[in-house]
């Protein structure tokens, strides 16, 4: 089964988005909450894997990214939180109108749950590679590279282009200025936006999130090692958070890093575990077709 339909979505503020619906003949949906600057096509293999087990999957390009980009990013105004509270929310609303919804997230996907209009409408969430983003949690020399990106490279490139040209550094797609600005600020705090006194409007709703969440990281993920994951998820004060640590050598898979969770060479081992955990929280996982 490889049925996939390009699906237009409309965010609550009127922004038009492009998504893909991997269709299955059931009333259960996984919404894939992708990482920062990563287009939806990166998650195709996982979506097809879940689809083959009888699960609809929705993948979405956030505004300014991939097929949801509308012209130049120079002068394009938005806030980082719009990807969560507007764009991902539109995907969840689409799925919720058609059935029960679970969330699988990557990096930003774990940051997004508490920013959804109704996070407790999800049955459960399994997120990979979500951490606080603070360079101090990263091992050397990655912490120095991260510091240089925020304090040396970013200020120069954004001044030149009017946005952060991540694609020129092989780091995903370009970032709108508002995303760069907010992300840089929040990554300066050990607990990300939970430590930012100016982010109360973003962080306050997290205390109301009560769904089960599995928060998985790989021990070779330089951007979201276990300590970073734990620091961030301390902000989900009412949720049932289950930490999961993976070690590539022990699992018998290639290096995972920050992006490998959704690569097929790693997914052959990780993805069945993810669906099994979601199955413990109501997802009906069928035999692969």
Given this model, what pLDDT does residue 287 score? 87
pLDDT score, position 265: 97
How is domain 4-279 classified at the CATH fold level? Rossmann fold (3.40.50)
- Residues 231-240 have pLDDT tens digits of 999 999 999 9
pLDDT score of 2: 67
pLDDT confidence of 289, banded at 50, 70, 90?
A: low
- Asked if 20 and 6 touch (Cβ cutoff 8 Å), the reply is yes
Q: What ranges do the domains of the chain cover?
A: 4-279
Residue 171 has a pLDDT of 78
119-167 per-position pLDDT tens digit = 999 999 999 999 999 999 999 999 999 999 999 999 999 999 999 998 8
Spatial CB neighbours of 44, under 8 Å, sequence gap ≥ 6 = 4, 20, 59
Residue 190 burial (10 A CB sphere; 0-12, 13-18, 19+): middle
| pLDDT average, residue stretch 17-33 | 98
Report how far Cα 264 is from the mean position of its chain's Cα atoms: 18
Query: Cα-Cα-Cα-Cα dihedral of 175, 263, 42, 178, to 10°?
Result: -20
* Spatial strand order in the sheet of 16-22: 4-10, 16-22, 56-61, 28-33, 100-106, 125-128, 212-218, 240-246
**Rounded distance between C-alpha atoms, residue 199 and residue 129, angstroms:** 22
The single-letter DSSP state of residue 15 is: -
* Length of the chain measured in residues: 289
- 1 has a pLDDT exceeding 70: no
Residue of 108, 112, 113, 147 lying closest to 128 (CA atoms): 108
SS3 track for 197-215: HHHHHHHHHHHHCCCEEEE
Q: Whole-angstrom Cα distance, residue 221 to residue 272?
A: 20
Average pLDDT of the chain is: 96
């Amino acid at each position: 089964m490889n049925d996939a339909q390009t699906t237009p979505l409309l965010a609550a503020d009127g922004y038009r988005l492009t998504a893909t619906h991997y269709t299955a003949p059931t009333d259960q949906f996984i919404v894939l909450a992708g990482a920062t600057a990563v287009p939806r096509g990166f998650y195709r293999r996982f979506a097809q894997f879940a689809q083959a087990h009888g699960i609809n999957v929705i993948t979405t390009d956030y505004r300014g990214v991939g097929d949801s980009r509308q012209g130049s990013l120079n002068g394009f105004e938005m806030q980082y939180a719009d990807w969560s509270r507007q764009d991902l929310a539109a995907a969840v609303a689409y799925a919720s109108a058609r059935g029960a919804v679970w969330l699988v997230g990557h990096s930003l996907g774990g940051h997004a749950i508490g920013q959804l209009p109704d996070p407790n409408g999800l049955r459960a969430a399994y997120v990979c590679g979500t951490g606080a983003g603070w360079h101090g949690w990263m091992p050397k020399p990655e912490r120095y590279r991260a510091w240089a990106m925020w304090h040396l490279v970013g200020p120069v490139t954004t001044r030149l282009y009017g946005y952060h040209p991540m694609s020129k550094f092989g780091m995903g797609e370009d970032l709108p200025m508002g995303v760069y600005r907010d992300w840089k600020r929040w990554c300066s705090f050990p607990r990300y936006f939970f430590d930012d006194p100016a982010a109360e409007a973003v962080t306050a709703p997290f205390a109301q999130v009560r769904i089960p969440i599995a928060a998985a990281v790989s021990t070779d993920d330089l951007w979201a090692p276990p300590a970073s994951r734990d620091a961030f998820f301390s902000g989900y004060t009412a949720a049932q958070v289950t930490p999961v640590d993976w070690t590539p050598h022990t699992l018998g898979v290639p290096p995972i890093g920050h992006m490998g969770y959704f690569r097929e060479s790693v997914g052959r081992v990780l993805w069945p575990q993810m669906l099994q955990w979601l199955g413990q929280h109501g997802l009906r996982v069928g035999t692969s077709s």
